Structure 1
Amino acid sequence: MNEEKKRQGMGTDGDFEEQLRELLAEDANTIRPAPVPYPAIRRRGTVERRRRVAAAGAALVTLAAMPVGAYALTDGTAGGNTVASTPPVSTTPRTPAKPTPSASPAGPARPATEGQLLNGITFEQAADGLKKCLADDRSRTAGPSGSRMDLGAAEDYRIILAMNSTGDSNAPGDGTYVVAVKEQPKQARLICNVKDGQASGINASVGSDDVPGAGPVMADINGGKLYQQSFLDRGNWKLPFQWGVIGTVKPSVARVTVSYGGAASQAVLDHGWFVASGVLNQQVTMAPRIKGYDADDKLVYDSDKDKYHEKRLP
């Protein structure tokens, strides 16, 4: 019996020791770290490298698909690389744009010389006066009693003379004369009078003034208002007096002179017209005398011998 009890006691102590060893072993595993899983780490590194290589390859494919010159990499001096955008290269030829012609304002042509604009009158002022006279004439013609033909627009004309106008008993008030001519569709000549910035009257001659047997030079039959004052003021003109003489010339005429009040003036030839001007400082009774010369300076016209030319003033 004692032996049986001893075996039982020993069995009890052995179980305790076995349990103690198991507990110590568990504590040892808890305190000591588990071995490093090198195979797992290696596998993860391999997968990560493959992913990066695939991403880099995709980026290279994207850059290769972009047009040449689409982007330029520059070594940025402000720090880091910068991406500068450049316009894409086009292989389609462009048709050069045609320049837009500059639009010129509608208006008359200029005279042949600046000397035909007298008394400080500018071309712009003369052109404006002509436009006002034509507009005034159209407004009168448009009425029920209007019977005059349309004289056209200012751009149809060329200004050949602009000068001061002197008022008289028949037409009081000083102003400006503007003389303009055109060739198409019919020859026409206008003498426009402007006073205080408003149209004050217009004298128009449409068609050629040629008469049978006319010479190579012909004074305008209605141009007397440019070189004389009203016959109502005979012997009592306002002086000094700016005068002008206009008319037509044939191509054979190379030079024209006009004498008036004892002074001679060399006329300007302007596209088949002659224009002369001067200043009177004395009362006169004789009309201007006109002479024409050819290229050899031979006299080919003398108004004193022209039966159609008035020799004396009214």
Structure 2
Amino acid sequence: MNNEPVVHGKDFEAQVREMMAEDAYTIRPSSAPYPEIRRKGAIERRRRVAAAGAVLVALAAAPVGAYALSGNGGGGSVDTAAPLPSVSASQPTTPTPVQSKPVGPVGPATPGQLVDGITLAQAADGLKRCIAWERGNEKARGDKGPRTEVGRAADYRIILAMNSTGDSNAPGDGFFVVAVKEQQKAPQLTQLICNIREGEVGGLGISAGGKEFDNGGPVMPDINAGKLYQQSFIDKGNWKLPFRWGSIGRVEPSVARVTVSYGGSTSEAALDHGWFVATGTLNTQVTLAPHVLGYDTTGKVVYDSDTDAGYDKALP
């Protein structure tokens, strides 16, 4: 028979309360592992900073648009980059360069107008030297102003550049530069034929006049172009061969084609903004000037230098 006292009712309840009061401070939860939590938090922050850095690198390297990197929430790995066309990173804009006026002369209409390996840069440099040379002569003469308003190299169009052959009057080989300038404020044209020998100006011819044709035809060979297709009269009958020659002149818009025959061969002229330009190589001695023919769109001859009273057909 059990002799343990039996606790009933309020006595039992009081006993339980007493036991709980005695053990209130002995039964407590374990302290939180703050060092471990802090360490894990620091690792997580570093992982996120590294991921953010990877995003910035991807944005800087991406040529177009932006890319998003998404983690899987587990081991810190990232998914494949997915393009987001609607989201773009802020990119510094490059200012559009200001288009300034070209500092050099305009080149010819066709590549064939620069011959003998002469480049546009070389021709332009020769033109600048010629203009500087002329301005120096103006100062030496004491001119108050340029006689023909030479202007700047940038005002010109180069229509021909070719080798030049020295003769008894002008020894030393070099090259010719032919350039033209159209005055915008007045109906006037300026034409310049310059010879460069050994890097120096060996001769310069400048002419200026109105735009009208004074020979009555739709083609007008240039009256000063003789220096391009003949050698000095001192060497008459004893030219240096082969000889590079050129022929230039003006054409009206109705002229569709120009040919120039010289020394038994015919060259097709280039048409360049109202000018015709032809060149070739002479291998035989000649006594007659180049023969110029102009044609309209139907192929009809509308100009023949043989019938032009103002054209010198025989060489001096």
TM-score, structure 1 length as denominator? 0.69
Which amino acid letter does the alignment assign opposite residue 206 of structure 2? Answer: A
Root mean square deviation of aligned Cα:
4.0
Q: Is residue 177 of structure 1 aligned with residue 176 of structure 2?
A: yes
Residue matched to 1:165:
164
Deviations 1:249-285 (CA, angstroms, capped at 9, x unpaired): 0111000011111111111100000001111111100
| Aligned counterpart for 1:290 among listed residues 289, 292, 299 | 292
Which amino acid letter does the alignment assign opposite residue 250 of structure 2? Answer: T
Residue matched to 1:109:
106
| Aligned counterpart for 1:304 among listed residues 298, 303, 306 | 306
Q: Shift in Å at residue 211 of structure 1? A: 5.2
Unaligned runs of 5+ in 1: 1-37, 40-72, 81-92
Residue matched to 2:191:
189
Aligned partners of 1:216 and 1:250 also within 8 Å:
yes
Query: In the superposition, relative to structure 1, how do residues 120 and 166 fare at CA in structure 2: closer, same or farther (>3 Å)?
Result: same
Alignment length, in residue pairs?
259
Deviations 1:202-252 (CA, angstroms, capped at 9, x unpaired): 111112374545211011000100000011110010000000000000111
The structure where helix makes up a greater share of residues is 1
Q: Matches of 2:171 and 2:279 in 1, distance apart? A: 22
Aligned partners of 2:261 and 2:267 also within 8 Å:
yes
SS at match of 1:204: strand
Residue matched to 2:150:
151
Aligned partners of 1:219 and 1:247 also within 8 Å:
yes
Q: Shift in Å at residue 199 of structure 1? A: 1.8
- Decide which structure has the larger Cα Rg and report it: 1
| Aligned counterpart for 2:116 among listed residues 115, 119, 137 | 119
Residue matched to 1:128:
125
Aligned partners of 1:165 and 1:177 also within 8 Å:
yes
Aligned partners of 2:215 and 2:308 also within 8 Å:
no
Q: Is residue 220 of structure 1 aligned with residue 222 of structure 2?
A: yes
SS at match of 1:242: strand
Q: Matches of 1:111 and 1:212 in 2, distance apart? A: 25
Query: In the superposition, relative to structure 1, how do residues 297 and 229 fare at CA in structure 2: closer, same or farther (>3 Å)?
Result: same
Of 133-142 and 229-238, the range deviating more from structure 2: 133-142
Aligned partners of 1:256 and 1:291 also within 8 Å:
yes
Residue matched to 1:263:
265
Deviations 1:77-122 (CA, angstroms, capped at 9, x unpaired): 9x99xxxxxxxxxxxx999775223557510111111111111111
Query: In the superposition, relative to structure 1, how do residues 257 and 141 fare at CA in structure 2: closer, same or farther (>3 Å)?
Result: same
Residue matched to 1:70:
none
Residue matched to 1:139:
136
Which amino acid letter does the alignment assign opposite residue 113 of structure 1? Answer: T
Residue matched to 1:67:
none
Q: Matches of 1:125 and 1:95 in 2, distance apart? A: 40
Residue matched to 1:55:
none
Q: Shift in Å at residue 150 of structure 1? A: 3.2
Query: In the superposition, relative to structure 1, how do residues 196 and 224 fare at CA in structure 2: closer, same or farther (>3 Å)?
Result: same
Q: Matches of 2:273 and 2:294 in 1, distance apart? A: 16
Q: Shift in Å at residue 75 of structure 1? A: 9.3
Q: Shift in Å at residue 171 of structure 1? A: 0.9
Which amino acid letter does the alignment assign opposite residue 200 of structure 1? Answer: G
Which amino acid letter does the alignment assign opposite residue 161 of structure 2? Answer: A
Q: Matches of 1:140 and 1:156 in 2, distance apart? A: 20
Residue matched to 2:12:
none
Aligned partners of 2:262 and 2:291 also within 8 Å:
yes
Which amino acid letter does the alignment assign opposite residue 159 of structure 1? Answer: I
Aligned partners of 2:164 and 2:175 also within 8 Å:
yes
Q: Matches of 1:261 and 1:94 in 2, distance apart? A: 66
Query: In the superposition, relative to structure 1, how do residues 212 and 153 fare at CA in structure 2: closer, same or farther (>3 Å)?
Result: closer
SS at match of 1:278: strand
Deviations 1:174-218 (CA, angstroms, capped at 9, x unpaired): 111000111124311110111111222211111237454521101
Which amino acid letter does the alignment assign opposite residue 187 of structure 1? Answer: L
Aligned partners of 1:141 and 1:150 also within 8 Å:
no
Unaligned runs of 5+ in 2: 1-22, 25-69, 77-89
Aligned partners of 2:102 and 2:154 also within 8 Å:
no
